[in-house]
Amino acid sequence: MKSALTWEIIAKCSTSKARVGKLILPHGPVDTPVFMPVGTQGTLKGITPKQLEELGCQIMLNNTYHLGLKPSQELLEQIGGSHNFQNWNRNLLTDSGGFQMVSLLKLAKITEQGVEFQSPHDNESTMLLTPEHSISLQNSIGADIIMQLDDVVSSVTTGPRVEEAMDRSIRWLDRCISAHKKPDSQNLFAIIQGGLDMDLRKKCVEEMVLRDTPGYAIGGLSGGEEKDIFWRVVTLCTDLLPKNKPIYCMGIGYTEDLVVCSALGVDMYDCVFPTRTARFGNALTSKGSLNLKSVKFSKDFQPIEKDCDCVACKSYTRSYIHLQTTKETVGCHLISLHNVAYQLRLMRNIRQAIIEDRFPSFVKQTFKDFFGSEEKYPVWAINALKSVNIDLLS
């Protein structure tokens, strides 16, 4: 396939599979490993694109299915794409709509042709999302990275349906490639499916690699599966996928997941977690999460996190944000800003540690700070890191 990106590996960890890269896309550079905040319909909830730019974000997500419903493909065509629509001059990645097969399963009917959705807005109108229509929508949105439409099943699904979805995803990729009208300005990524079956994952990687797309994503995870299986699927895929292409693990956003998957060789992540948890009053910090709705913060005049330079931490106290979180939407806005700043800073620190070849010690310190004691370390994370020569307990 044609590619509208270049990607150079800048540094490699001498111990694990972690690496730092420079991804050049049509709307500028992206430093990897990178966390991509999710702006479903053109903005993160509670954050303007301008604020996101001020936080140093180089790439964000939009959702094809939701933008296709509102504002509609016609309007996006009129205004010249989502960059113009939301006044965002940096990079965009669009989810193809495949994930909605899981999240909106009760409203969806899946066939070889595509997936027919009943609108969640009026429960009457329908959208037939085929591979061709998904790509057409994404061409209209104008994202720098677009995703194939894949047949997505819940990660805890077993039996013949998993293999059916994997095989169909391969067939749908071929249809996506044929439908893609803008390979000179938009990069189509394949998505590796196969559930928790290692043989199916291997088969899917073999087939997708033959299509030689500009990058590859690991899909179908983060849906409630056992984490000790989750990491084994991730590391299998990073072992088998081409080393000269960026690898994107979809739906990853927890601190420990970002650190571990970077050690396993993943370059890109996305998740709604930082803004979704903010709406419940939860602030992310290097020492763990703080529920600022709790009355114990009512007289706490510290910032959310001392070393954070986001506007919430520079200008407001936990006490003020506690009051606003329990009474006004501005509280969730400030926590959302902080949480995204936290995620972006974590990724900067990961990259710097890899460049300076001190990533194993960084991982150990991060886990020590975040969990407090070794007894609280997740067993799956210990196992995953040990597989790439980082012993958390040594």
Contacts of 295 (CB under 8 A, 6+ apart): 322
Catalytic residue of the set 151, 270, 309, 391: 270
Which H or E run contains 335?
helix 329-355
Q: Does residue 98 have a known ligand-binding role?
A: yes
The 3-state DSSP class for residue 81 equals coil
Residue 310 annotated as part of some ligand binding site: yes
Task: Identify the burial level of 148 via C-beta atoms within 10 angstroms of its C-beta, where 0-12 means exposed, 13-18 middle and 19 or more buried.
Answer: buried
**Is residue 262 a known part of a binding site?**
no
Cis peptide, bond prior to residue 71, ω within 30 of zero = yes
Q: Quick one: how many helices (H) and strands (E) in the chain?
A: 16, 16
Quick check: 92 and 144 in contact, CB under 8 A? yes
On whether 308 is known to bind a ligand per the annotation, the reply is yes
CB of 11 closer than 8 Å to CB of 386:
no
Whether 151 is catalytic: no
Catalytic residue among 31, 95, 228, 300, which?
95
Q: Is 313 one of the annotated binding-site residues?
A: yes
176, 148 contact by CB (below 8 A): yes
Which are the contacts of 392, defined by CB distance < 8 A and separation ≥ 6?
Answer: 363, 364, 367, 374, 377, 381, 382, 385, 386
149 C-beta neighbours (distance < 10 Å), count: 31
Q: Is 57 annotated as a binding residue?
A: no
* Residue 391 marked in a binding site: no
95 is catalytic: yes
324 is in an annotated binding site: no
Work out the number of other CB atoms within 10 angstroms of the CB of residue 108: 16
DSSP characters for 109-149?
Answer: EE-SS-EEEE-TTTSS-EEEE-HHHHHHHHHHHT-SEEE--
Annotated binding-site residue? 271: no
- Binding site residue list for Zn(2+): 308, 310, 313, 338
- Binding site residue list for substrate: 95-99, 150, 193, 220
The set of catalytic residues is: 95, 270
- Binding site residue list: 95-99, 150, 193, 220, 308, 310, 313, 338
